[in-house]
Homo-oligomer: A and B are copies of this chain.
Amino acid sequence: MGEVKTIFEPRKAILIGSSAIREKVGMASPQLFSDVIYNMKKFFHGKTYVLDTEGKISRTHLSKLPEVPELAVVMLPPEQSIEHAKECMKAGVKAFVMITGGYKDNQRQKLLKLKEQYDVKILGPNTIMGVLNTANGLNTTFERNVMPKKGNIAVISQSGGVGACLIDWACFYDVGISKFAFVGDKIDVDDVDLLQYLGRDKNTKVICLYMEGMKNGREFIEQARKISKQKPILVLKGGITQESAQRAKSHTASIAGSDQVFDAAFKKAGIIRVETIEELMNMAIALSKQPPMRGDNVAIVSNVGGPAILAGDAVTRNNLKLANLSEETKQKIESLYHGVDASNPIDMIADARADRYEKVLDLVLRDKNVDGVLVINMLKSTFFEPKDAKVIPKVASKYPNKPIVDVPAGGEDFELVYRVLSNTNIPLYNLPDKAVKALKILRDYGKIIGKH
């Protein structure tokens, strides 16, 4: 019996394409074939076989293989794809990633019938980019030499374009990824199956979805409700309006329902909804690195005044609260540092270095009136140096139940601190409002867990 697991974790895979077919989008093309071969040979830890129907790249025939691969990645025009998939099924291949699109209804039906007959699992057709698994290097995308770094964020995308943008974003901004799946036309494996699989996947801590419509809505919500107790699920939903929903319908052949219905369903399922691609990635980073926030009270610890005020504004806009620090905390801070006003947001003044950050953060995190902390450490106009940021994960590790996020505000300043902290569990944001939003989402997830 074919399993979803096999789609992501085969030991042997066969790539079926053509080295001579005329190039066409959504369809087979020699370039796409060559790129997938390149990526699989370069990244995949298992064995990769290549079946070139034109025989220029490889004259491999299924029957000649020393062993049957578990996964076939098929990138031929619909009829040929179906034909070759059938041959593979006969030979005992149990899982399929059907890359190419352009299937007609009757072709989808034909493929589905074969699936039932041979009891296999099919992702697609029309997945275009297929799957990525950073744990075993599986990479069926045709973006040559593009592979995100290992991490614990999984992404399911109903759109090739949004998925491609998310891969590009993850690679460029160094976001750690566990799995990527492009669902395509979903004749077999759908979001529910993928959720189920990722819910059990030990390499996945946060699940991100881009969706335009929902198949098996009730089942999806039921499944998500169970998983969201263990792993946060973030959703970016495209097609919120009648006009764009109409477009979404023609785009992925799924029915985009009224936006309010989705909103209610997501709430019921403990799914956190975001509005943009950047939010999806930024919030996933926060959830993958920090604990949920157990109350609304945020402390802001900064070496500059203005950005701390903007952070305070964002706290209000996100319906969080500026923590009332205890008198004890305030007095301790003010007695240690003359000139520092320990009212929240705390402006530690531009000469604050590692030592002051460490002591003040320790006092603030210890305060029972504080549920989460936002740190601002600018370099420009201050004496702070990138290496000083090392004290942040150090102090944070003493308070594993309180989330902490860091804002080296700006462009170069962000880059310089990022180099020091990127491999720690401290999420970094280039502006205060993005970090506050991260705390908001950590608070939301705290409420979701609390509910169950």
- List the interface of chain A (C-beta within 8 A of B): 24-26, 128-129, 142-143, 146, 157-165, 167-169, 171-173, 210, 212, 236, 238-241, 243-244, 246-248, 250-252, 275-278, 302, 304-310, 312-313, 316-317, 322, 341, 343-345, 347, 349-351, 378, 380-383, 409-413, 415, 430-431, 433
Q: Which residues of B contact A312 (CB under 8 A)?
A: 239, 241, 243-244, 247
Q: Which residues of B contact A24 (CB under 8 A)?
A: 351
A168 B305 Cβ-Cβ under 8 A: no
Residues A146 and B380 in contact in the complex (CB < 8 Å), given A158-B306, A171-B412, A431-B278? yes
Complex-state Cα separation, A20 to B134, whole angstroms: 56
Q: Which residues of B contact A383 (CB under 8 A)?
A: 25
A251 B306 Cβ-Cβ under 8 A: yes
A350 B25 Cβ-Cβ under 8 A: yes
Complex-state Cα separation, A278 to B310, whole angstroms: 12
B244 A313 Cβ-Cβ under 8 A: yes
CB distance from A131 to the nearest CB of B (A): 14
B381 A411 Cβ-Cβ under 8 A: no
Contact among B158, B169, B313, B411 for A241, CB-based, below 8 A: B313
Q: Which residues of B contact A143 (CB under 8 A)?
A: 380-381
Residues A308 and B381 in contact in the complex (CB < 8 Å), given A169-B411, A410-B169? no
CB distance from A6 to the nearest CB of B (A): 25
Complex-state Cα separation, A26 to B241, whole angstroms: 52
B412 A172 Cβ-Cβ under 8 A: yes
Q: Which of A161, A307, A322 has the most chain B CB atoms inside 10 A of its CB?
A: A161
Give 19 CB contacts A-B under 8 Å.
Answer: A26-B350, A165-B409, A168-B378, A168-B409, A168-B411, A168-B413, A172-B412, A212-B309, A239-B312, A240-B313, A241-B312, A241-B316, A244-B313, A247-B308, A247-B345, A247-B347, A251-B347, A276-B431, A278-B430
Q: Which of A244, A278, A350 has the most chain B CB atoms inside 10 A of its CB?
A: A244
Complex-state Cα separation, A272 to B276, whole angstroms: 23
Q: Which residues of B contact A248 (CB under 8 A)?
A: 309
B161 A304 Cβ-Cβ under 8 A: yes
Q: Which residues of B contact A345 (CB under 8 A)?
A: 244, 247
B276 A381 Cβ-Cβ under 8 A: no
Q: Which residues of B contact A167 (CB under 8 A)?
A: 380
For the A-B complex with A169-B411, A248-B309 known, give 16 more contacts whose Cβ atoms are closer than 8 Å: A25-B351, A142-B381, A160-B305, A161-B306, A161-B382, A172-B415, A210-B306, A236-B310, A240-B316, A240-B317, A241-B313, A244-B345, A247-B308, A247-B345, A250-B341, A277-B409
A380 B168 Cβ-Cβ under 8 A: yes
Lowest 7 CB-CB distances: which A-B pairs, in order? A172-B411, A159-B306, A161-B304, A168-B410, A164-B381, A162-B306, A244-B312
Q: Which residues of B contact A341 (CB under 8 A)?
A: 250
B412 A168 Cβ-Cβ under 8 A: yes
Q: Which residues of B contact A309 (CB under 8 A)?
A: 159, 212, 238-239, 244, 247-248, 251
Q: Which residues of B contact A349 (CB under 8 A)?
A: 25-26
Contact among B142, B159, B381 for A128, CB-based, below 8 A: B381
Q: Which residues of B contact A26 (CB under 8 A)?
A: 349-350
Q: Which residues of B contact A344 (CB under 8 A)?
A: 243
B316 A161 Cβ-Cβ under 8 A: no
B381 A129 Cβ-Cβ under 8 A: yes
B275 A307 Cβ-Cβ under 8 A: no
Complex-state Cα separation, A159 to B312, whole angstroms: 15
Q: Which residues of B contact A413 (CB under 8 A)?
A: 165, 168
Complex-state Cα separation, A430 to B173, whole angstroms: 12
